[in-house]
A and B are shown apart, each in its own frame.
Chain A
Amino acid sequence: MKLRTPIIALFLIFFCVASGCRKHAEPAKADLLLKAYDTEADWSDAQHIISLSYQQAQGKRVFYRHCVWCHADATPAGPSNRSNLTPVPPLLNDGATLNAESDEFMRNIITLGGSALGKSAMMPPYGRMLTAEEIRSVIAFTRAIAQPSYQPPGRPGSQYSSK
């Protein structure tokens, strides 16, 4: 009897606080950016800020050092080299082209270069420049900024599931 009243009171307080919190909760957007390791403005919409995970942020660093010269229209040095190349390389955020390529393919073309996969030899191999981890991170960054956005292939669902 002695204990019950405070316990009930505690529960009441807890519920008030919990429901109150839910009502006034801010949209999660700001939180996402707070937790991000880095951000990248959407290339086709500067207002849209994409938050990056640790791996994607590492990929951004590698991209802006090695890849940006040919896979973007604006580079840290100003003009892009992209227009000098035939065939014109895809922009890194070109989801329409790159979303269809598997991570495996992306890893191979970065590591071995274009000619090894029947693509343009203008894409040099980076297997002796970048570590496997760096290459994975660049792919992660590519996926993060893709427009239209990238949907990772789902694990093949169980065909035998009752659901």
Chain B
Amino acid sequence: MLGPDLTNVGIKVSREWIYKWLKEPRTIVDKDGNVTVNGYETEDEPRMPKFRLTETELRGLSAYLSVQKARPIVPYKIDARVVSAWSKNPELISQGELRFRQMFCSTCHSLAVTRAGETKLIGGDIGPELTKVGSKVNPEWLISWLRDPQGYLAHTKMPRYGWSDEDLYKVTQYIDTKLTDSDLLTGVPQLGQPSQDEVQLGHRLFLEKGCASCHIIEGLNPQKDFGPDLSALGGKNASELEFGSAKIPHNLVAYIQAKLQDPGSVNPAARMPQYNWNPADLDAITTALLSMKGAPPTSALQNLVVPREEAGFHPTGSFAEVYERYKCYTCHKFNGYGGSLAPDLTYEGSRAQREWIVDFLKNPQTLRPTLILRMPQFNMSDKDATTLADYMTLVLQHPDANPTSVDARQFTPAMVTLGKQLYEVKYQCQSCHTIGGTGGYVGPNLNNAGGWLTPAWVEAWLKNPQALVSDTIEPRRNFTDAEIKALTAYLMTLRQSIKPQKSASVTASLTTALGAVR
């Protein structure tokens, strides 16, 4: 389904918010006529189209949706000691913001940020943008959502973080206080308790307007083939089309464009909602529709199209459980399956040392400090981190880089010295890699190469980087075998312990405690 599941939407948002959304789905046109979404300009329109709803219909639908509370939430009580320690603390909100940043929520969610008079979205687009989410969702829902996203929406990509009550309190307080807009619901009438008639009307409209074609509500069966079949639209003659009273040329292109831009213009009774296309999208979708001329003629040509092999990665056991909980595959790829935001982990067991993986998972410090989108801080338990690291080390291996095949004990100090020279003088690797604070940042930081990479991987990598990661931009060089050994020996001496980041909350509570003593 294209839109979110609405089975439980009544516990998440208020009836007033639903009313506003249905009337004007996020899109707000400001006084200058610029299209703004939630207050900032954007080229991406929300996917929710605009339905031309009357006041009665708005009241009906908002009433119906606001009573969708199939699985009521049990409010989670945050430890009273945490609340009493923090609720009066003036730093509560700024600490919440700090944790929000440290956990790297922004890898998936964006916020509108105004700098030098220019407002733009900063952050990822895997999850929804959150600039005003505090004014949208019910605070109790927010807490239960953060603790267990799949409990509300089984198929959500949101990972299940390990929350301490302290973090949960600070972050939700931050969201409810800062990520808000008091003007969000301006112009929405006081709707009050939904009446039985309104709910019934909403139920009927939900099916009639086609809402059920994009949104699931458990127990509600959408009408099949809600919209008309378009597979032969491109072959239609102008005489077969209804132009109504629209003042447009009577041809197929004009018809399609008019219908897409304003469905009511060619047929006032159209059920199709109003979309906001940008000109490029409008042209693209027109072209696609024009190309649909019925079932394609069967010919030998079809046999030329080779179906793409479906990538699959089906882990089992305790690894699968943790992998699923943190939704690793949303960003990382495993054996061709998964997202492409973060590094492909298919050969992670050949690349990284087990201890490093454990440390990294518990405290993901990025190797590339210039990145804006980074691995979130999941507050992973030792057990989870070990499970993941063990599995990766044993299973996710490259046939040409077996970690046990190269023994680091063979490296001599002379090789290390030579390697350092090769690195710094002959090949000047520092143009792209950083060691000890100097160097470039095109490639990963090598401060901890010896604690991170396996010697087998480094050797195979120096021989031919593209054989291991086909799309890497590391130039393939022509090192001799002796040079490869020397460079590997040098890199394996580079160590820098990843110190567990002193979490700000610890420091802050220490400061508070000290203040109290004084």
| Chain A residues in the interface with B (C-beta under 8 A) | 65-66, 69-70, 77-79, 81, 84-85, 115, 120-129
Contacts and interface: CB of A to CB of B under 8 A. Distances in A.
Interface stretch (B133-141, B227-235, B258-266, B435-443): B435-443
A125 B441 contact: no
A69 B440 CA distance: 10
A121 B425 contact: yes
Interface in B364-383: 370-372
A128 B463 CA distance: 11
A65 B427 CA distance: 21
Contact of B372 (A78, A81, A122, A129): A78
A5 to B, nearest CB: 39
Given A70-B431, A78-B372, A81-B432, A124 B477 contact: yes
A35 to B, nearest CB: 20
Given A79-B441, A81-B441, 13 more contacts: A66-B473, A70-B431, A70-B440, A77-B371, A79-B370, A81-B431, A81-B440, A121-B425, A121-B426, A121-B427, A123-B431, A124-B477, A129-B466
Contacts of B428: 120-122
A84 B476 contact: no
B480 to A, nearest CB: 14
B475 A124 contact: yes
Contacts of B473: 65-66, 69
A141 B426 CA distance: 29
Nearest to B371: A77
Interface string B466-489: 100000010111100000000000
Contacts of B442: 69-70, 81
Given A77-B370, A79-B370, A121-B426, A129 B476 contact: yes
A79 B430 CA distance: 17
B431 A84 contact: yes
Contact of A115 (B426, B439, B440, B441): B426
8 contacts: A70-B442, A79-B441, A81-B440, A85-B440, A121-B425, A121-B426, A121-B428, A122-B428
Nearest to A85: B431
Contacts, number: 53
Interface of B: 370-372, 425-428, 430-432, 439-442, 466, 473, 475-478
Contacts of B430: 122
Nearest to B434: A84
A13 B425 CA distance: 75
Contacts of A124: 427, 431, 475, 477
A125 B479 CA distance: 11
Contacts of A79: 370, 441
A129 B441 contact: no
A79 B475 CA distance: 20
A66 B475 CA distance: 9
Nearest to A75: B442
B476 A128 contact: yes
Contacts of B440: 69-70, 81, 84-85
A125 B475 contact: yes
Contact of B439 (A69, A78, A84): A84
A125 to B, nearest CB: 7
A75 to B, nearest CB: 9
A140 B290 CA distance: 38
Contacts of B441: 79, 81, 84
A129 B426 contact: no
Question: Interface centre among B371, B425, B441, by most A CB within 10 Å?
Answer: B441
Given A78-B370, A81-B442, A69 B432 contact: yes
Given A79-B370, A84-B439, A84-B440, A128 B431 contact: no
Nearest to B438: A84
A36 to B, nearest CB: 18
Contact of A122 (B370, B371, B431, B478): B431
Question: Interface centre among B431, B466, B473, by most A CB within 10 Å?
Answer: B431
